[in-house]
Structure 1
C-alpha cells in the first residue's frame, strides 16, 4: 500500500510540475539576391558616383528587420518597416568593397579593403625619416566609410635586405605601432 501511495504522489506531483514546452514563433526574413536591373536608379547612380572604378559583383536586397539586426541601426532613425536596403559587393583593381545603401541612394556604410595604393604623404615621410634604407614592399588600407566620416587603418610592409617590418598607421597617416 505504501508503494501505491508513493506512486500516486509522484503521479500527482508530476501533473503539477511537468515542464511546459512551447513552440517558438519564428519569423523568417528573406534577404534576396537581385540583378542590377532591379536596383533602384538612385542606388545605381550613387554607387557609380562614389566608387567609379569599382565593378558591381553582387546585390542583396535587405528588408528593414534584417538590416536592423545585422547592421544595428539606431532607434533614432525610427524605421517604419517598409524601407529597403541594398548591400552591394564591388571589386576593382586591388580593391574589394561592401556598401550598404537605402532605396533613395543614400550611403549608409561601406567597408573597403585596397592593396598597393598611394600612401598618405605623412606616412611616407615617417617611413623615410624613421626607417632609413627600408623600401615599401606592400601596403593595405581598410576603410570604414560613413556619410560624414571615413576611418582608415593602413598596414605597410617595409623591408631592408632580409629584415622586414609591418607598420600600422591611422586615418590621417599617423604612425600607430610596429608589428
Structure 2
C-alpha cells in the first residue's frame, strides 16, 4: 500500500483529531466528576470531638441570608441550646452553622433537618399569604390584573425555584 504525502498528512490529521476528541471527552468526564464531588460537599458536618451535642455544619453555595434565617429558626427549637452562623470570608459562598443541643440524646443533624423543614414551611406560608393578598388586590383593582398576573407568576417561580 503506497501512501502519498497528502495521505500521510490526512492520516496524521485524523489521528490528531481523534486524540483531541478523546482528550476532550476525558476532560468532560473529569469535569462531571468534579461537579459531582462539589455537589456531595455542599453540606459538610464537622463534629466536635468528645461531644455528641455539638457540631459545625458548612453549607456551600449559600450566604448569610439562609444562614441567619436558619439560625433564628433553630433558636426557637427547645432542643437547641445554641445556634450560631458565620460567613468565614465575604468572597466565599459558604456559611458555618454551629449547633449545640440540650443533651447528648439529641443529634445536631436532626435539629438541622428539622430547622430546614420548619424554615421551608414558613416560606410556603409566606408565599400563600402573598398569593392571597395579591389575589385580593387584583380583585379590588381590575385594571391591575393585566400586567400584574405575569409579575406574580414570575415572582412565585423565582421564589419557589430557590428551594429546589
| TM-score (norm. length: structure 2) | 0.32
Instruction: Please identify which structure carries the higher helix content.
Output: 2
Say which structure, 1 or 2, has more relative contact order (CA 8 Å, 6+ apart): 2
| TM-score (norm. length: structure 1) | 0.30
